[in-house]
Amino acid sequence: MHILITGGTGFIGKALCRQLITQGHTLYVVSRRPDQVNEVLGHTVNAATDPFGWLGQAMDAVINLAGAPIADARWSEKRKQLLMNSRLGPTRQLVSYIEQADHKPRVMISGSAIGYYGAHGSEKVSEDSSCHDEFAHRLCLAWEAEAMAAEKHGVRVCILRTGLVLEADGGLLARLLPPFKMGLGGRMGNGNHYMPWIHRQDLLNIIYFLMQREDLSGAFNGTAPTPVRNGTFSRILAGTLKRPLLMPLPAFTLRLVFGEMSEMLLTGARVVPERLLQNGFEFQYKTLRPALQQIL
């Protein structure tokens, strides 16, 4: 297949591109730094700063993973605007490309996050659950609305609301590993909030599954079937590393360091991938311990 991708050098995108290359697909990656795309992914990948030079090339799928990392810095008003702009701008550009393209792609898969739902305590959260109005929800809501505009041009759209994506080379797990390896890891706050997680390989498999299933559209939760509380996550991670669990991070410390973003670390939602399970997707890593054992 011919596949157009944004965010191709990010934590998820890089792994996805490498898998797709191995499977024999032809990739077209939009990036602010096309030279970096070729350095990271090789010179068989087509790279450009925008997709409009490829209007005459028939694309089978568009995968939109662009966006500044949400947990890399304190949420100042300037940072919030960057998080918005880095998602809405590229998504809007892709929809404009689709509108102008000679041959419309069959599907657009666009990223989102479980922040769409906001804090829900221990309540089970599926794709149809209610949402709490907070910044993460407003960010995801606007991002998804931009992507869904592609439906007006006859394109099937799938929205992937991802949880905590696990691999050792990036994401939150890469930040947690140094203190946990030194025996300094611990729960965040009281540890009772849920952390919906997913092994990165399962997330890549979901993307490919949604590309193939022409009967599926709309929102899908990109999380493993068994979310765990933060205290349980911390205990299993320490146990996998054979380290003690000694140093809880008090809530007031997280609020002092991270400001408004700390609420994302101290509250959670028991998100489950109801629509994926209903439609026959098979997870390789359904529970946390085997996932961390494979990664570590």
Over residues 168-217, the pLDDT tens digits come to: 999 889 988 998 999 888 888 888 999 999 999 999 999 999 999 999 99
- The neighbouring-strand residues paired with 159 are 110, 219
Where do the domains of the chain lie?
Answer: 2-295
Tell me how far apart the alpha carbons of residues 236 and 288 are, in angstroms, rounded to a whole number.
Answer: 8
pLDDT of residue 258: 64
pLDDT of residue 263: 64
List pLDDT tens digits, range 224-246: 999 999 999 999 999 999 999 88
- Residue 22 CB coordination number (10 Å): 8
List pLDDT tens digits, range 32-48: 999 999 999 999 999 99
Task: Please measure the distance between the N-terminal and C-terminal CA atoms of the chain and give it in whole angstroms.
Answer: 33
Of the ranges 66-70, 117-121, 266-270, which one carries the lowest mean pLDDT score? 266-270
List pLDDT tens digits, range 73-127: 777 889 899 999 999 999 999 999 999 999 999 999 999 999 999 888 889 999 9
Top pLDDT among 31 and 247 is at 31
CATH topology of domain 2-295: Rossmann fold (3.40.50)
pLDDT of residue 120: 85
